[in-house]
Amino acid sequence: MRLREPGVFTVDVAAGELSGAATRYRKTFGDLAGLYADEAAFRRLLDERGADAVAYEVTDHKPSSDAGDMIIGVTRMAPGKVGAEYFMTRGHIHAKADRPEMYYGESGHGLMLLESPDGEVRTVELRPRTLCYVPPYWIHRSVNVGTDDLVMTFAYPADSGQDYDIIAKAGGMRRRIVDDGTGGWTAVDNADWRPRSAALVEALYGEAA
């Protein structure tokens, strides 16, 4: 049996990264077209900051994509809004939908927005030292509702994969997280959202249904 070597990494909270991790990717505002309700405000943001400005960045350690292995990393997301809507990640369901995830708040004030295949919605507030459990089958997206960078450590099974289409095909997630008018947040209905068909929901649940 050839074993992998243990790894040790440092969560650099100030930099918002996992120091020593081998892989890094950035999502720029230019990558996030179509995500936000207010398209005019989104175009203004691109004009002001440039399409190449970083919206969020992930550093992670991906030892393999084997079932039973684990991916660990750190996400850093900038604060801000597009119109009234707080900055967010694209969001996804795991390609193997029964795979869970955990997020641990390191700094900033965020939300995990979760949606089940048949359209139930949950929000979990993330602050430093909050550990959020994302159960199998839930679509998840993080939202920065604070005024500083949101930094989170995460871990998920290495064979999970990500399916981004499930959100796009439904016209977005069912709720949008917006400023409540006093600098806090509230969840409002997304008028473009369409329920998934029973057949699609069943296919997602697979043998577990």
User: Contact positions toward Fe ion, by CB under 5 A?
Assistant: 101
Question: Which tokens belong to 126?
Answer: 């993330």
Closest CB to ligand F6P among 73 and 84?
73
The one of Fe ion, ligand F6P, none whose footprint includes residue 108, by CB under 5 to 8 A per kind, is none
User: Among Fe ion, ligand F6P, none, what binds residue 89 when CB lies within 5 to 8 Å by partner kind?
Assistant: ligand F6P
Selected range binding ligand F6P among 42-50, 87-95, 104-112, 195-203, rule: CB under 6 A: 87-95
Instruction: Report, in Å, the least distance between residue 7 CB and ligand F6P.
Output: 17
* Partner whose binding site includes residue 147, from ligand F6P, Fe ion, none (CB under 5 to 8 Å by kind): none
User: With CB cut-offs between 5 and 8 Å by kind, which of ligand F6P, Fe ion, none does residue 154 bind?
Assistant: ligand F6P
From candidates 26, 49, 92, 122, binder to ligand F6P by CB under 6 A: 92
Report strand pairing: 110-115 vs 121-126. antiparallel
List of residues 6+ apart from 131 with CB closer than 8 A: 102, 103, 104, 105
- DSSP type of residue 63: -
- The Cα 186–Cα 203 span in angstroms is 32
User: Quick one: DSSP state of residue 67?
Assistant: T
**How many beta carbons lie within 10 A of that of residue 167, not counting itself?**
20
Q: Are 150 and 108 in contact (CB under 8 A)?
A: yes
Smallest separation, CB 51 to ligand F6P (Å) = 17
Question: Helix, strand or coil for residue 37?
Answer: coil
